[in-house]
């Protein structure tokens, strides 16, 4: 049995899902802050993009896990070929696995209180975990420079575009939203729009990365065999 996967159709489908999630989240916040309906039988919290353990959080966690899976597949293929950057693909799969778990569990938020206790916070650093995020991005970026320049041009451009969108949302918009929250608080409609912009950029960045990975697989290993059983 051969299962055909169309990168274009998957991209289109996920784009529709993202649009639906963002529209539902914005609609919920309009109901909450403009009309005074904060629950609506669970609709508002279930679709607000900044909440945990709800539909948008589940979507983001699953798509990050999909990235980890695709990276792991490429990593295994590269190891079989004895390719130079096989370890980089596998390590990137591990990073995305962590991001998937973090999206579901909010691990990075555990750093907020200790950092504030250390005097880091306020203004653009109202959510001080971004300091650790920027350090992490810098370290990974430097470690992956040679890897990036060894990629095909099309793949490299898409990887960089996906990273710009995702990091711009996760850290850039988080800092802008933090500055606003420090001045006006988080329980207001404008702040939810900062959060919505952040999550939209993250979702689009992950979608672009998924498309880049699928196209890379289509070019370099278009047919992947799955063997079930104990035979070597």
Residue with tokens 């909010």: 106
Mean pLDDT of 146-152: 95
| Reported pTM | 0.94
The verdict on residue 229 lying in a domain is no
The verdict on residue 227 lying in a domain is no
Q: What burial letters (b/e) apply to 201-230, b meaning 16+ CB within 10 Å? A: bbbbbbbbbbbbbbbbbeeebeeeeeeeee
pLDDT at 169 over 90: yes
What rounded mean pLDDT belongs to the chain? 93
Mean pLDDT of 73-87: 91
Q: What is the C-alpha separation between 79 and 128, in angstroms, rounded?
A: 38
pLDDT band at residue 175 using 50, 70 and 90 as cut-offs: very high
The verdict on residue 108 lying in a domain is yes
* Coil, strand or helix at 220: helix
What pLDDT, on the 0 to 100 scale, is given for residue 231? Answer: 63
pLDDT at 92 over 80: yes
Number of Cα atoms under 13 Å in the Cβ half of residue 20: 8
- The Cβ of residue 118 has, within 10 Å, a number of other Cβ atoms equal to 9
Residue with tokens 């035979």: 231
The verdict on residue 226 lying in a domain is no
The verdict on residue 19 lying in a domain is yes
What pLDDT, on the 0 to 100 scale, is given for residue 1? Answer: 65
Number of domains in the chain: 1
pLDDT at 145 over 80: yes
The verdict on residue 21 lying in a domain is yes
* Coil, strand or helix at 161: helix
The verdict on residue 184 lying in a domain is yes
The verdict on residue 30 lying in a domain is yes
pLDDT band at residue 214 using 50, 70 and 90 as cut-offs: very high
Domain coverage including residue 21: 7-220
Which of 19-33, 108-122, 174-188, 201-215 shows the lowest per-residue confidence on average (mean pLDDT)?
108-122
Residue with tokens 């589940």: 58
CB within 8 Å of 73: residues ≥ 6 apart: 217, 221, 224
Mean pLDDT of 153-160: 96
């Amino acid at each position: 049995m051969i299962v055909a996967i169309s990168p274009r159709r998957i991209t289109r489908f996920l784009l529709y899902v993202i649009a639906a999630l963002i529209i539902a989240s914005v609609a919920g916040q309009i109901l909450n802050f403009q009309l005074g309906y904060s629950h609506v039988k669970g609709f508002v919290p279930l679709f607000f993009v900044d909440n945990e353990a709800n539909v948008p959080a589940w979507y983001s966690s699953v798509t990050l896990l999909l990235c980890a899976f695709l990276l792991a597949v490429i990593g295994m293929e590269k190891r079989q070929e004895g390719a130079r950057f096989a370890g980089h693909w596998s390590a990137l799969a591990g990073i995305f696995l962590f991001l998937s778990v973090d999206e579901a569990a909010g691990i990075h938020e555990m750093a907020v209180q200790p950092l504030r206790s250390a005097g880091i916070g306020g203004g653009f650093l109202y959510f001080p975990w971004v300091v650790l995020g920027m350090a992490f991005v810098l370290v990974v970026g430097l470690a992956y420079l040679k890897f990036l320049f060894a990629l095909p041009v099309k793949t490299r451009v898409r990887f960089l575009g996906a990273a710009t969108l995702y990091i711009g949302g996760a850290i850039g918009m988080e800092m802008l939203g933090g500055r606003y929250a420090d001045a006006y608080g988080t329980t207001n409609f404008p702040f939810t729009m900062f959060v919505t912009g952040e999550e939209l950029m993250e979702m689009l960045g992950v979608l672009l990365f998924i498309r880049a990975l699928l196209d890379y697989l289509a070019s370099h290993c278009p047919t992947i065999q799955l063997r079930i059983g104990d035979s070597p």
